[in-house]
Chains A and B, each alone.
Chain A
Amino acid sequence: MQLLRRPSLTPTKRNEQQLIALLGPAAVGKTTYIATLLHWEDAPQNEYFKVKDTDGDATELKTQAQDLLCQGQPLQLTRVREVFDIRKYGLYLEVCPQPRQKVLLDLRCLDYPGEIFNAMQYGDPDEVLNRQTPDNPSYMDDIFRKDIRGCMIFLDSWLDDPPPVALSHQIVGWDDYYLKCLRGFYHQANPRQRVSNLRLVVALSKCERGEFWPTRLDPDLDIFKRRFPQTYAFLIEKWPPNNLLFHALSTFGVLDPIRDPRPNRKTAPGVSDTLRHSDFKEWKPYGVISPLYWLCTGHKMNPHV
């Protein structure tokens, strides 16, 4: 794996900024993912990538990573009242996809709360959440506007924790839940002419879990086709193959990928899991950079990075 050196990051032109939308159910780890990336700015010897926060929201989230995540406390749920509340985290990311090649990405990650993704299963989230007023533009128009380069959809599935079920709406298992949400996503994207030109990463987050860790190497077949067959078939059928990437990532990582593949997490009843080892030597996120690189450039790189 070609690793990064530590050159200084220089700002790029504003018009190169790439907007990435993050979607997925609540507590799937979207904000934690960005917080983890930002936290790596302070890594003394950053082997994997170089990152820098570029705006106030990102700096704020970085302090949350240090004060909460690293101190064994989960981040708070992202809540919004209207489109203008959606946090946009700006970061420069320097990646090294090939030996002696450095690519600087100027990203803005839009962190949509889980309830929007969840509402997609019932139809138009703007109507379901009942938040659209003349002064308050539509969430869907925001997600599918032309300048959004790519969209990253986070999924996880805890077998002992059933998906959010509404009485009027029969859901059978996680596959069915994701199928309904992603079908809703497709039906929102299609009329806005975004299906053919929106890169889509469908990522299984928290892949440090024992049942997913060995399958992370071939997420297409071993995770999505096997665990979420209906969702997989739907996406393969509807989304252009060159705009679709299945991926597995883990922000917490495992203790040691070779010798000790136990998850780097602590579990306690009643609360979200928390980080076990928070110093840079022991905290090894898996697959957090390559999906962003693919979303921005369309080129694949080592999926472990």
Chain B
Amino acid sequence: MGILVIGDAFTGKTQFINALAEPEANQRVQPIDWTYFDGKTIQRTSAGSTASKPLEVLVHLPSGSKHLLVEVMDTPGEVWKNENRAEIYAQDWQAIREVSVQSEGIFLILPPYNDLLRAEEQNHTGQIIEGNHSGGSIAEWKSRFQSWIEFFKRDCPRSRHILLCINKADLFERDISALANQFAYTPNQGMGWQDRHQYLIRRHFQPIAKEINELSQFKQKGEPGSVQCFLTSIYHRSLLELPWIYLASFLSSDHQFLA
């Protein structure tokens, strides 16, 4: 099964995956195959280096543990800029296309938009928000998401699950521990997947709520759970694990999504 991790430059795609390698108490998502994480230094994914790598993780679910054996492709953010696509990133683009048409699960890592960051700046001055972190104004962020929708529709015919993650939640969420507790995966109690999704749709994903709805309608008529929203931060393990737990829930024991 192919899993594609996509997103613009500086959204934290590589860290999003590599942070899983950090051992943590009570972790539900546990990498088994350490060859994926070659060394602790995180280098920016560069041109020509796009290739899918196998990653094996063990996800502990209420029904037992499931092996998630995935081909993960981390993509350099620059490849998504139109002007570069044809030149230095042609090779990467080719590789991405090959994987995207096969992928069943797609992580889209989104940057926080200005309004999210600004609200935090006003309340809390400890953080220095770099320009790189921001996804621009709401209008910019929204129009960028439109082009992702085009990509999903055009290049991902087999995708069953699209996971939208606003990353770097630690930069803007005032009380992220409280949110992490609220979102915590506690089987049979607390929030369910749809509750989390609806909560985020109303808050952080509100500007693109309509687009998300259209995308789920497009994916499969009546198919539940094809687009799911997440808020992630590499400093909060429980939030980081949620998308992986979600994906593993749909898997059968032979690593295939149930038909």
Contact with B along A67-103 (1 / 0, CB 8 A): 1101111111111100001000000000000000000
Q: Is A235 an interface residue (CB 8 A)?
A: no
Contact, CB under 8 Å: B61 / A72? no
Q: Which of B193, B250, B253 is the one whose CB lies under 8 Å from A72?
A: B193
Tally of contacts, chain A with chain B, CB under 8 A = 89
Shortest distance between the CB of B62 and any CB in chain A (Å): 5
Chain A residues positioned under 8 Å from B131 (CB to CB): none
Residue on B nearest A39 in the bound complex, by CB = B63
Q: Would you call B250 and A76 a contact (CB within 8 A)?
A: yes
A74 to chain B, nearest CB (A): 4
Q: A66-B63, A68-B250, A278-B188 are in contact. Are A73 and B216 (CB under 8 A)?
A: no
**How far apart are A30's CB and chain B's nearest CB, in angstroms?**
14
User: Per-residue CB proximity of A261-305 to B under 8 Å, as 1/0?
Assistant: 000001011111011001100000000000000000000000000
Known: A27-B222, A60-B253, A278-B188. A73 touches B258 (CB 8 A): no
Name the B residues within 8 Å of A66 (CB-CB): 61-63, 187
Q: Tell me what chain B mostly uses at the interface: helix, strand, loop, or mixed.
A: loop
- Chain A CB within 8 A of B157 CB: no
With A80-B259, A85-B259 already in contact, the answer to whether A71 and B193 are too (CB < 8 A) is yes
A12 within 8 A of B: no
Residue B14 at the chain A interface, CB threshold 8 Å: no
State the interface size on chain A (CB cutoff 8 A): 31
With a CB–CB cut-off of 8 A, which chain A residues contact B250?
67-68, 76
On chain B, the residues within 8 Å of A75 by CB distance are 224
A74 CA to B62 CA, complexed, in Å = 16
Q: Mark B167-191, 1 if CB is under 8 A from A, else 0.
A: 0000000000000000001011101
Bound state CA distance, A197 and B222, in angstroms? 35
A27's nearest neighbour on chain B, judged by CB, is B222
From B63, B160, B222, B257, A67 is in contact (CB under 8 Å) with: B63
Across the interface, do B259 and A79 meet the contact criterion of CB distance under 8 Å? Answer: yes
Complex Cα distance, B187 from A78, in Å, reads: 24
- Using an 8 Å CB-CB cutoff, how does the interface string of B209-249 with A read, 1 for contact, 0 for none? 00001001100101111000000000000000000000011
CA of A275 to CA of B189, assembled, Å: 11
User: Given A64-B258, A68-B249: A73 and B222 within 8 A (CB)?
Assistant: no
Interface contacts beyond A26-B222, A73-B224, A77-B220: sample of 15 additional A-B pairs, CB < 8 Å, sorted by A: A27-B222, A60-B252, A60-B258, A63-B252, A66-B61, A66-B187, A71-B193, A71-B249, A76-B250, A76-B259, A77-B224, A78-B259, A79-B259, A269-B213, A279-B189
A residues lining the B interface (CB < 8 Å): 26-27, 60, 62-64, 66-68, 70-80, 85, 266, 268-272, 274-275, 278-279
Q: What are 18 A-to-B residue pairs whose CB atoms are below 8 Å?
A: A27-B222, A60-B252, A60-B253, A63-B61, A63-B63, A67-B62, A67-B63, A70-B188, A73-B224, A74-B194, A74-B225, A80-B259, A85-B259, A271-B216, A271-B224, A272-B222, A274-B194, A279-B188
